[in-house]
Structure 1
């Protein structure tokens, strides 16, 4: 079998993954907190055509005689640049400006992280619990569920830029909510040394991996730049439509060229088989 068939086929497979990645970006243009992804590639092994590369005089040639065997996908990397902030009418929606992530707890008890701040409230025994659209509780800086007091109107909630939650006290100065230990109730916001290494769990959620490193809490940590919170806002996707369309055209053309290489190899084999 000709090397070119396998080489071109590997290029088609790689470009198909590239198109899939671009399509996923385009599909999530309106997904809150979505971060665009980009596929990167690397070459496969090279085959030596000559074990010793010399000229007719026995002198070494300046270049080796090697032929490549195609390409493959090396990684699909997320770009965690800041998305535009979009104003909404939901008082429980909070956008992050900075590198932080909200911490939530899933039904299985696993801690996950998200940039999607389109929160809602769910009635519980002692008040109203702040949760995601999937019903997963949002956690405060101490790992506890955020419960809004039942004796206050939930829609009067005030979220300060430092992530603390408060209610109006009638004097024009919102009073910060405190927990059972007298500590201010504040969003649990965390950063990662390598956010691109986070595992994508769907529903705009991420989980910690060895590659991402452990979650670094912002609360009381002067070593990290604090993330600002903006109430009545959500963070839009950071997908650039123009760039994605250009990338899609380039990927499509690369796919077509690889298919042409397969057709050319097939025609060459037909001619070789037709020799008498």
Structure 2
């Protein structure tokens, strides 16, 4: 009975994490470039009560008697399926169609990655314009350098090709290529570490960033100007998952209540 109490308690703790994850998904349903998360579970160790050879008559028994010790959260996995394309009025807004990621330079000087293409223009000390994220982090080109252009360029003149060529139209209507937007892929994007401000950091699980510009055998992503990628959270699916998690939590609560009743009855036997 004590084992059942701890097993049910581990289930309640795990389902609480599942509910927290679902709530996080629902709260980010309108976050640009957000990728939904799912809680994965795994069984704890099994305890052997009887081996395959223990019977009353000493005969061989085909199966053993084992009981599980509960469950725990194994991981919270991000689902990097494509989000919907949402139209934007900004000429610096971009969405990725494919498996690529934008690269940005963080405040600490390290390179991070994001699917949030709601970019802005920042005026530098020398008057040049720099393509930055909504939080002011410079967007990098395919060579790892910030994307800059002259300060007298109007945002309405900015042009971005589907291949990622970033530039503007001069006074004669000719396209001036400034840089190629850096697009990167990962062998295991679910292994990326999620940070604040929609940034992702490279880990050993994700593998090194693969530059689409110079890495062979990669399916190139496309850049869509004046679009942003919406989150891939499906509200109906999340509500179903929430109901399932709540019912599982209640089931574990019932198991604790049943074990408590059994312990209460055991205490009454002496009387």
Shared fold per TM-score greater than 0.5: yes
Counterparts of 1:141-220 in structure 2, within 5 Å, are: 141-169=142-170, 173-177=174-178, 185-220=179-214
RMSD in angstroms over aligned alpha carbons? 1.4
Q: Which residue of 2 aligns with 1:226?
A: 220
SS of equivalent residue, structure 1 residue 49: strand
Shift of residue 56, structure 1, vs aligned partner: 4.0
Shift of residue 155, structure 1, vs aligned partner: 2.7
Moved over 6 A (4+): none
Aligned length: 269
- Partner deviation per Cα, 1:203-245 (whole Å, 9 max, x = no partner): 1110000000000001133421111000100000001111111
Unaligned runs of 5+ in 2: none
Shift of residue 173, structure 1, vs aligned partner: 4.9
Answer yes or no: is the 8 Å Cα contact 1:148–1:154 preserved in 2. Answer: no
Shift of residue 50, structure 1, vs aligned partner: 1.8
* In 2: Cα distance, 1:188 partner to 1:52 partner: 60
Shift of residue 170, structure 1, vs aligned partner: 5.2
- Partner deviation per Cα, 1:124-149 (whole Å, 9 max, x = no partner): 11411110111111011111111121
* In 2: Cα distance, 1:13 partner to 1:264 partner: 18
Q: Which residue of 1 aligns with 2:75?
A: 75
Answer yes or no: is the 8 Å Cα contact 2:52–2:63 preserved in 1. Answer: no
TM-score (norm 2): 0.95
* In 2: Cα distance, 1:114 partner to 1:259 partner: 40
Counterparts of 1:21-170 in structure 2, within 5 Å, are: 21-124=21-124, 125-169=126-170
* In 1: Cα distance, 2:153 partner to 2:253 partner: 65
* In 2: Cα distance, 1:19 partner to 1:116 partner: 25
Shift of residue 167, structure 1, vs aligned partner: 1.6
- Partner deviation per Cα, 1:225-269 (whole Å, 9 max, x = no partner): 111000100000001111111111000000000000001111111
Answer yes or no: is the 8 Å Cα contact 2:52–2:61 preserved in 1. Answer: no
| Residue of structure 2 aligned with 1:247, choices 232, 241, 260 | 241
Using the TM superposition, name which of 137-146 and 160-169 deviates more: 160-169
SS of equivalent residue, structure 1 residue 250: helix
Shift of residue 169, structure 1, vs aligned partner: 3.8
